[in-house]
């Protein structure tokens, strides 16, 4: 069975969806959920679903080998960033080349880079009167949102849409496609 580790910083709706998708399907299992915020809702969701979970500090990720060594011990087949807001360290990227993916709430290369996450992206889409937005699932490299694109899905943005409306449309795309793309990568 393939092993998935999820990194998340927030509410964990994508992590929860991925965990549920793989429960009992025989292909893969989420073996660990990690968050850089000790009060992140994702940790509670993982706990309720019986998935090992813990938090860590920025220092644990960037200034020590704690998370690097944990990844080597866990031996994941895929590391999934699902709403994880810190830049991922190059030593882990090198050790797990083409085994780390991220979902971004826009059609990259538009609205990528440092600070472009969540509501910031959706507000930019609305402010620029874009006619569409979407999601991009991509490999993680040493630069924010610049790894090779694996998959994109788009949705129409209406002229009357608020950034909250756009966020809701993007969330639906993430829920529908993210687990399926992960499954395809692991097959």
- pLDDT band of residue 24 (cuts 50, 70, 90) is confident
- Name the packing angle between helices 13-22 and 163-186 (round to 10°): 30
Give the domain CATH number at 136: 3.40.50.170
Q: Which of 21, 62, 104, 138 is catalytic?
A: 104
104 is an active site residue: yes
pLDDT above 90 (res 25): no
What's the confidence (pLDDT) of residue 138?
98
Q: Give the chain's domain count.
A: 1
pLDDT above 90 (res 58): yes
Indicate the burial class of 116 (C-beta count within 10 angstroms; 0-12, 13-18, 19 or more): middle
Q: The sheet that has 53-55: what strands, in order across it?
A: 53-55, 28-35, 2-8, 78-81, 100-104, 132-139, 149-156
- Both structure tokens of 63: 């200034």
Please give the residue range of the domain that contains residue 72. 2-186
pTM of the model: 0.95
């Amino acid at each position: 069975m393939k092993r998935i580790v999820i990194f998340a910083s927030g509410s964990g709706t994508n992590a929860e969806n991925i965990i549920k998708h793989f429960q009992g399907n025989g292909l893969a299992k989420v073996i660990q959920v990690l968050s850089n915020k000790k009060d992140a809702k994702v940790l509670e969701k993982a706990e309720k679903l019986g998935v090992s979970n813990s938090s860590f500090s920025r220092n644990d990720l960037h200034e020590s080998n704690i998370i690097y060594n944990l990844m080597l011990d866990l031996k994941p087949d895929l590391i999934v960033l699902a709403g994880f807001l810190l830049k991922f360290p190059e030593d882990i990227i090198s050790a797990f080349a083409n085994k780390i993916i991220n979902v971004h709430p826009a059609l990259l290369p538009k609205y990528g880079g440092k600070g472009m996450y969540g509501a910031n992206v959706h507000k930019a889409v609305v402010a620029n009167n874009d006619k569409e937005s979407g999601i991009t699932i991509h490999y993680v490299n040493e630069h924010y949102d610049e790894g090779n694109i694996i998959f994109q899905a788009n949705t129409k943005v209406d002229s009357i849409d608020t950034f909250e409306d756009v966020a809701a449309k993007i969330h639906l795309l993430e829920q529908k496609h993210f687990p399926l793309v992960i499954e395809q990568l692991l097959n």
